[in-house]
Amino acid sequence: MADPAARILILDDDADVAYAAQLLLRRRYGAVTSLGDPAGLAAALAAGAPDVVLLDFNFAPGRIDGAEGLAVLDRLRALPRPPAVIALTAYADVPLAVEALKRGACDFITKPWDNARLVAAIESALARRGAGASCAVPELMGDSAAMREVKAMIASVAPTEANVMILGENGVGKELVARAIHGASRRAGQAFLAVDMGALPEATFESELFGHRKGSFTDAKENRAGRFQAARGGSLFLDEIGNMPLAAQAKLLNVLERREVTPLGADRAEPVDVRIVSATNLDEARLFDPAVFRPDLLFRLNTIVIRVAPLRERREDIPALLRHYLALYEQQYQRPARTLSAGALERLCAWPWPGNVRALRHACERAAILGAQEQYQFGDFGLGPAAAAPPAATGAPLAPQLALGRLEREAIAAALQQAGGNISQAARLLGVSRAALYRKLDKHGI
């Protein structure tokens, strides 16, 4: 969702990068400015404190150590109300990004970025900032028996070094569970890196995870650390691990067994010290199918299994989640505080929530923006045909763009159902990229 009140500052000496970011973001946020030199930061802050800063780390010609950017980060973090900082890094700068995370950055984005990933990072930073939260581990909400069990499991397993596999449908909060495990572990002061395994092209799988040496392939213009090296001493979250091809699974298994990686083009292996937390939305029956997932890799990953129940199985958590997200977006969008009507609350608690907490969050954002009555009504949440009378019911013909929008929404919902909630598989069924599907999910509030 757009936030016309948000202020974004892009601090990057590459004018083309700054301009591309402005083109993308100025349609969504109230003020998007850029700065090519940290020397102008004081004046920029005096003109208006930003909510989010996109921060590059090298400015002077020839500098590659990132010291300038880290100094700016420290300066921003020392402000009375510091902005959320998202590090902009080249692929080779992943270890630098990890250092930035340790010093208080909320996230890092590699250049060239994926537009959906950049917008999602900014929206997440704005949501945390609107709630008055830092970039620390977010709280797992819910007091149902299912969530109490999850929290007890986290408390028991976090202090250990055991690998953990998190199972659950899309949108239940598997990454939040992973971050909570890291935050309660002995590794909490080190990096937490998340990797979407379903989005890694098989051709670049080894380079992304294990790194490469300069000249090891055509585009390898410099040495690059992989995610295993970048997360050294911390935790590596392997999301959507059930979508990995079998050949890639064999390579990952070899690393986990040997506790070392060999970057492409290197003549010797490097030891790795990371804790592995993985997640998948695959049905457990499919997960144990050797044609889908290697049993030997599965047994390496699922020392401890945490199952996160879908929202429809813990409906007693829905009222608290609704109150939390409505209050968050009321503050973020400067909307009046309102309560839920009794009828709306009853229907929302009975709603099946196929997109789980993620869908509830998007619905609350919509309601906070569009709700116009003294109390929130069910129709404010845009959840389905019952939310608002369709134009055809009034006797007016359905406008072509509305018909197309409805057909698109129905096609996406059908693909998600056929794919069992698996985003990567649904994207393939629809013939679009994962990023494009995420944008459409956001567009339709699914």
Cα distance between residue 119 and residue 263, in whole Å:
31
Same domain? For 8 and 87 the reply is yes
Q: How would residue 202 be classed by pLDDT, with cut points 50, 70 and 90?
A: confident
User: Which residues, 6+ apart, have CB-to-CB distance to 432 below 8 Å?
Assistant: 440
Q: What would the pLDDT profile of 6-62 be if each residue is shown by its tens digit?
A: 899 999 988 888 888 888 898 788 789 999 999 999 888 888 889 999 999 888 877
Same domain? For 173 and 217 the reply is yes
Least confident of 24-28, 300-304, 404-408: 404-408
CB atoms within 10 A of CB 414: 13
pLDDT of residue 314 exceeding 50, the answer is yes
* Residue 164 in tokens: 């953990």
* Residue 57 in tokens: 């780390």
Higher pLDDT, 332 or 286: 286
Confidence at residue 395, expressed as pLDDT on a 0 to 100 scale: 42
140 domain residue, yes or no:
no
Confidence at residue 220, expressed as pLDDT on a 0 to 100 scale: 73
Instruction: Kindly list the distances between the CA atom of residue 419 and the CA atoms of 282, 343, 405, 412, in Å, as whole numbers in the listed order.
Output: 10, 33, 21, 10
* Residue 327 in tokens: 């209050």
Sign, Cα dihedral of 199, 135, 85, 27: positive
Q: How would residue 139 be classed by pLDDT, with cut points 50, 70 and 90?
A: low
Q: With both helix axes pointing from N to C terminus, report the angle between 115-130 and 318-332 in degrees, rounded to the nearest 10.
A: 100
Same domain? For 124 and 151 the reply is no
Higher pLDDT, 20 or 426: 20
Q: What are phi and psi of 99, to 5 degrees?
A: -60, -40
Confidence at residue 101, expressed as pLDDT on a 0 to 100 scale: 77
Confidence at residue 135, expressed as pLDDT on a 0 to 100 scale: 55
Same domain? For 164 and 228 the reply is yes
Domain count, the chain: 4
* Residue 28 in tokens: 């969504």
Same domain? For 70 and 119 the reply is yes
167 domain residue, yes or no:
yes
* Domain interval for residue 443: 395-446
Q: What would the pLDDT profile of 341-400 be if each residue is shown by its tens digit?
A: 999 999 999 999 999 999 999 999 999 999 999 999 999 999 865 433 333 334 444 454
Same domain? For 176 and 253 the reply is yes
pLDDT of residue 2 exceeding 60, the answer is no
* Residue 350 in tokens: 């009975």
Least confident of 14-18, 97-101, 193-197, 280-284: 97-101
The whole-number average pLDDT for the span 239-268 is 91
How many helices and strands in the chain, by DSSP H and E? 18, 14
Same domain? For 319 and 375 the reply is yes
The CATH number of the domain where 96 resides is what? 3.40.50.2300
Confidence at residue 397, expressed as pLDDT on a 0 to 100 scale: 47
Q: Which residue has the tokens 């057909």?
A: 407
Confidence at residue 332, expressed as pLDDT on a 0 to 100 scale: 81
Of 309, 339, 367, which residue is a domain's last? Answer: 309
Of 244, 277, 309, which residue is a domain's last? Answer: 309
Higher pLDDT, 231 or 202: 231
Same domain? For 333 and 208 the reply is no
Confidence at residue 28, expressed as pLDDT on a 0 to 100 scale: 81
Same domain? For 439 and 332 the reply is no
Q: What would the pLDDT profile of 156-191 be if each residue is shown by its tens digit?
A: 899 999 999 999 999 999 999 999 999 888 888 788
Confidence at residue 417, expressed as pLDDT on a 0 to 100 scale: 67
Same domain? For 203 and 151 the reply is yes
List own/partner pairs for 91-95 with CB under 8 A and 24 or more apart: 91/224, 92/222, 92/223, 92/224, 92/225, 93/57, 93/66, 94/224, 94/225, 94/226, 94/227, 94/229, 94/230, 95/225, 95/229, 95/230
400 domain residue, yes or no:
yes
End-to-end CA distance of the chain: 13
The whole-number average pLDDT for the span 329-338 is 88
Instruction: Kindly list the distances between the CA atom of residue 85 and the CA atoms of 55, 71, 75, 82, 93, in Å, as whole numbers in the listed order.
Output: 7, 13, 11, 9, 16
Q: Which residue has the tokens 């055509």?
A: 218
232 domain residue, yes or no:
yes
Comparing CA positions, the residue from 4, 99, 1 lying closest to residue 55 is: 99
Q: What are phi and psi of 143, to 5 degrees?
A: -125, 20
Determine if the pTM surpasses 0.85: no
Same domain? For 8 and 124 the reply is yes
Percent of the chain with pLDDT over 90: 38
135 domain residue, yes or no:
no
Cα distance between residue 141 and residue 156, in whole Å:
18
Instruction: Kindly list the distances between the CA atom of residue 446 and the CA atoms of 168, 186, 263, 328, 360, in Å, as whole numbers in the listed order.
Output: 17, 37, 40, 19, 9
Cα distance between residue 309 and residue 123, in whole Å:
25
Instruction: Please report the beta strands in 159-302, taking only residues with DSSP state E, as ranges in sequence order.
Output: 164-167, 192-196, 235-239, 260-261, 270-271, 275-280
* Residue 357 in tokens: 């907490």
Amino acid identity of 152?
A
**What is the maximum alpha-carbon separation in the chain?**
73
Cα distance between residue 108 and residue 49, in whole Å:
21
Confidence at residue 129, expressed as pLDDT on a 0 to 100 scale: 64
CB 163 within 8 A of CB 259: no
Higher pLDDT, 165 or 430: 165
Higher pLDDT, 117 or 292: 292
Same domain? For 18 and 158 the reply is no
Confidence at residue 206, expressed as pLDDT on a 0 to 100 scale: 85
